[in-house]
């Protein structure tokens, strides 16, 4: 038995299937995914229409198709930042670490600490729980009362900000070192 929503879907959405497929073919580069894309779009539309019927179904259909393609492209660009496992130990004895290397390591640790302290509060908390305490994404979400997607976003933002802080600090340290070397050469001449 068809419900009112089913009848609406057939008369207002499915009648545009041919135009929708042409639209998807023109705009989506992966032909083998077109049918999956269409089905996901239909599922989204049906769920949204169950809450409230759109006043302009055709415009809603094509706008939703654009949003779905954008979401898929965005998801395709996300890179997993899961740890890959332990690397083989380098077998470096503490006695073999030069003072320069030790000092450089301390400076890098200080830059990391400063970058970590500059993270927004919630982002810092998520990064700490996920990367330091090694809780799963689901456990972090449950502990903080946020969605797993939000945990993902905080981790990505935190890693990006930490990397920016570290690399900016290294670039600044290199520039200072180069300036000091140039000054020493001028004094020697």
Please state the domain extents for the chain: 4-76, 98-188
- According to CATH, what is the number of the domain 98-188? 1.10.10.10
pLDDT at 81 over 70: no
The pLDDT tens digits of the residues spanning 125-134 come to 998 898 888 8
pLDDT confidence of 73, banded at 50, 70, 90? confident
CA distance linking residue 111 with residue 118, whole number of Å: 11
- What is the pLDDT at residue 41? 92
8 A C-beta contact, residue 68 and residue 41: yes
Question: What pTM, to 2 d.p., does this model score?
Answer: 0.42
CA angle 100–86–92, rounded 5-degree value: 35
pLDDT at 135 over 70: yes
CA distance linking residue 72 with residue 76, whole number of Å: 6
Mean pLDDT of 8-31: 90
The pLDDT tens digits of the residues spanning 143-175 come to 999 999 999 999 889 888 888 877 775 555 566
- What is the pLDDT at residue 171? 57
The pLDDT tens digits of the residues spanning 30-70 come to 889 889 999 999 999 999 998 989 899 999 999 999 999 98
């Amino acid at each position: 038995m068809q419900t009112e929503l089913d009848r609406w879907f057939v008369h207002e959405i499915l009648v545009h299937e041919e135009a929708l497929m042409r639209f998807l073919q023109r705009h989506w580069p992966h032909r083998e995914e077109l049918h999956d894309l269409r089905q996901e779009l239909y599922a989204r539309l049906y769920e949204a229409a169950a809450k409230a019927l759109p006043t302009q179904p055709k415009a809603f259909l094509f706008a939703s198709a654009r949003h779905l393609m954008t979401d898929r492209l965005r998801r395709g660009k996300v890179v997993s930042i899961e740890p890959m496992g332990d690397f083989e130990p380098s077998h470096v004895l503490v006695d073999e670490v030069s003072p320069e290397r030790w000092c450089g390591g301390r400076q890098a640790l200080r830059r990391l600490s400063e970058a970590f302290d500059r993270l927004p509060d919630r982002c810092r908390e998520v990064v700490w729980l996920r990367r330091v305490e090694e809780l799963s994404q689901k456990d972090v979400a449950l502990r903080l009362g946020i969605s797993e997607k939000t945990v993902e976003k905080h981790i990505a933002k935190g890693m990006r900000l930490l990397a920016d802080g570290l690399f900016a600090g290294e670039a600044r340290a290199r520039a200072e070192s180069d300036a000091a070397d140039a000054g020493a050469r001028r004094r020697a001449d």
